[in-house]
């Protein structure tokens, strides 16, 4: 990019199909290039989300994962191959994406997010516009949600297991009446389904990763239609369900910040307005 106000000729060519969209245009492409997205978890979801965002021209991506590549990851985690087994996922993904997408600045954090390091890790590289939860464990999801609420940073959380996928857009700055991950899943609630326990097909993960990346780009471009909504995909019937997630007055993460209006809305449950798509 020549400067912050215009695209180079090469950028115009590279991103021509997305610049063609009225929702993007040159201004939107520059916004994408100036954005910093943090991806927590570089497994099945994180692999594909990171690649799609780098390919779309996101200027700054931080990849966080303490796991190492295993043989059983390869059918879903398409950035990795046999020679990567045993290496840190965030580091391998960063090296490969940096070679393929030179316009994107990639930073890797090769450790798990813990209660002890999360504040430091998420401030290590300055301001960020969007958090993407691509993890596979409940504790980290709760941790990321808490940081997102406390730091007033938008968060898009995705998950996939068996033939079920889920997507949740959390942005209480934009929609103070909407809930957070903890409103939906209180921390003491048991969540048993993971890829390790119930299995998954690669394209099921890829479908949810693509939706998360699409939602992320729209969010960066200022489209907030999906904020405060929970989307569920059934990979057998190929149907989507959508529900509003209201802020819960009982939520220990976001409930205490509620004003009078939030308290009123918090009494309803998340199944209030459910739509079904086929
Ligand atoms: Zn909440």
β-pair type (130-133, 36-40): parallel
Q: pTM here? A: 0.89
Q: Measured in angstroms, how far is the CA atom of residue 67 from the centroid of ligand 1?
A: 28
Q: What is the Cα–Cα distance from 72 to 50, expressed in whole angstroms?
A: 20
Q: Measured in angstroms, how far is the CA atom of residue 142 from the centroid of ligand 1?
A: 10
pLDDT of 119 reads 79
pLDDT of 114 reads 86
pLDDT of 118 reads 85
Q: Which residue is it, tokens 């799609």?
A: 52
Which residues, in sequence order, are CB contacts of 96 under 8 Å at separation 6+? 79
pLDDT of 272 reads 33
Q: What is the Cα–Cα distance from 15 to 93, expressed in whole angstroms?
A: 22
251 is catalytic: no
Q: Measured in angstroms, how far is the CA atom of residue 229 from the centroid of ligand 1?
A: 13
pLDDT of 221 reads 98
Residues 37-82 have pLDDT tens digits of 999 999 999 999 999 999 999 999 999 999 999 999 999 999 999 9
Residues 128-164 have pLDDT tens digits of 999 999 998 889 999 999 999 988 999 999 999 999 9
Confidence label for 267 from pLDDT (cuts 50, 70 and 90): very low
Which residues, in sequence order, are CB contacts of 144 under 8 Å at separation 6+? 40, 113, 118, 131, 133, 135, 155, 157, 181
Residue 50 near residue 64 (C-beta atoms within 8 A) = no
Most confident of 1-5, 173-177, 183-187: 173-177
Q: Measured in angstroms, how far is the CA atom of residue 247 from the centroid of ligand 1?
A: 6
Q: Measured in angstroms, how far is the CA atom of residue 46 from the centroid of ligand 1?
A: 24
In what order do the strands lie in the sheet containing 164-170? Answer: 105-109, 60-64, 36-40, 130-133, 155-161, 164-170, 229-234, 239-244, 274-277
pLDDT average, residue stretch 98-111 = 96
Q: Measured in angstroms, how far is the CA atom of residue 68 from the centroid of ligand 1?
A: 32
Averaged pLDDT score across all residues of the chain: 88
Residues 207-245 have pLDDT tens digits of 999 999 999 999 999 999 999 999 999 999 999 999 999
- Cα R_g (the chain), whole angstroms: 18
* Catalytically annotated residue among 183, 195, 251, 254: 195
* The token pair that represents 207 in the structure block: 């479908």
């Amino acid at each position: 990019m020549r400067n912050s106000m215009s695209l180079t000729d090469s950028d115009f060519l590279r991103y021509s199909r997305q610049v063609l969209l009225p929702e993007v245009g040159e201004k939107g492409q520059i916004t994408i290039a100036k954005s910093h997205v943090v991806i927590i978890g570089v497994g099945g979801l994180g692999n594909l989300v990171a690649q799609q965002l780098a390919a779309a021209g996101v200027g700054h991506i931080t990849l966080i994962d303490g796991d190492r590549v295993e043989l059983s990851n390869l059918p879903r985690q398409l950035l990795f191959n046999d020679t990567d087994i045993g290496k840190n996922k965030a580091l391998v993904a960063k090296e490969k994406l940096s070679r393929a997408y030179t316009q994107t600045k990639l930073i890797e954090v090769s450790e798990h997010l813990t209660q002890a390091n999360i504040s430091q890790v998420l401030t290590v590289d300055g301001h960020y516009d969007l958090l993407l939860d691509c993890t596979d464990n409940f504790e980290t999801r709760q941790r990321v949600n808490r940081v997102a609420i406390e730091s007033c940073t938008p968060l898009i959380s995705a998950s996939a297991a068996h033939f079920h996928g889920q997507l949740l857009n959390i942005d209480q700055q934009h929609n103070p009446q909407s809930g957070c991950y903890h409103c939906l899943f209180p921390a003491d609630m048991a969540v048993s389904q993971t890829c390790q326990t119930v299995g998954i097909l690669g394209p099921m993960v890829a479908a949810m990763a693509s939706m998360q990346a699409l939602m992320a780009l729209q969010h960066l471009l200022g489209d907030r239609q999906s904020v405060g909504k929970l989307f569920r995909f059934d990979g057998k019937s190929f149907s989507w369900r959508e529900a509003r997630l209201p802020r819960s007055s009982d939520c220990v993460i976001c409930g205490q910040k509620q004003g009078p209006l939030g308290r009123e809305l918090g009494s309803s449950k998340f199944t209030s307005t459910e739509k079904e798509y086929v």
